[in-house]
Structure 1
Amino acid sequence: MTDYTVSCHILNSNKGLPLSDISCELYLITDKNNIKIAQQKTNKDGRVPKESWEFVEDHKITHTNTYMIRFQIKSSYYDLINEDTLYPYIDIPFIIKNSTVHHYHIPLLLNNFGYTTYRGS
């Protein structure tokens, strides 16, 4: 089995600043339900490095499947700075496939009423 790694980061695109202390949850998506496999808060650079995830019950990312990162932006950020947002959280699903790529980086560029994401490196 191949081990895959995932990292992410969040940037407030209105202010051009990284967002620290944002709760992020990593899920395995199945036909029956979503299984939370890891969690972590972003660091001072707005990142969750691949080695910093706190995995639940010895879960690892060892096979191809659909995964998702849930960014808890309202409770972790907008409520604290007393600003409105359209999104209570943002879910970004992605597919890990068997390939020569073993690391997946998921960036989130965020403002109060919009966001974008892409495949990072």
Structure 2
Amino acid sequence: MAGSGRLTTHVLDTAHGTPARGMRIDLFFVHGDHTHHLVESHTNTDGRLDQPLLVGDQFQRGEFELHFHVGQYFSRLGLELETPFLDVVPIRFTISEDAHYHVPLLVSPFGYSTYRGS
């Protein structure tokens, strides 16, 4: 389904009040009880990706899952937690139309939120 559809994301570090620079993000296509890894990327200095995760011929309808590697991110910042509360934050969502899907993450070491953005 090639068209105007695209998938983007960004991450904000609410603990420090900054974009989450250098966070690893993996995108998976969900097929029944299996997932297929599609893309690995890292956020830039603005907490965004340099290009959409899905665009053009890669963009399709279906169920997807983003994995945000927040434990690795906070560890790299030097956050010393005996036992980190969050490691990988998975967000599963459905693409049902040829449109812009923006899935941001607001995260701290102890909690997160997301929404369908614009």
Normalised by the size of structure 1, how large is the TM-score?
0.83
Residue 91 of structure 2 corresponds to residue 92 of structure 1? yes
- In structure 2, the residue matched to 1:68 is 65
For 1:46-88, what per-residue CA distance to the aligned partner results, in whole angstroms no more than 9, with x for missing partners? 0125x35499xxx8122x211111111112x121123233111
Corresponding letter in the other structure for 2:7? V
- Conserved in 1, the CA contact under 8 Å of 2:6 and 2:53? no
RMSD between aligned residues: 2.1
- Conserved in 2, the CA contact under 8 Å of 1:9 and 1:106? yes
For 1:21-56, what per-residue CA distance to the aligned partner results, in whole angstroms no more than 9, with x for missing partners? 11111110111311111121001000125x35499x
- In structure 2, the residue matched to 1:117 is 114
- In structure 2, the residue matched to 1:103 is 100
- Conserved in 1, the CA contact under 8 Å of 2:71 and 2:109? no
Q: Hey, what's the Cα distance between the residues in 2 that align with 1:66 and 1:23?
A: 20
Give the gaps of 5 or more residues in structure 2.
Answer: none
Residue 20 of structure 2 corresponds to residue 28 of structure 1? no
The 4+ residue runs of structure 1 with deviation greater than 2 A are 1-4, 51-55
Give the gaps of 5 or more residues in structure 1.
Answer: none
The alignment of Structure 1 onto Structure 2 pairs a total of residues equal to 113
Percent of aligned pairs sharing the same letter: 27
Structure 2 SS opposite 1:39: strand
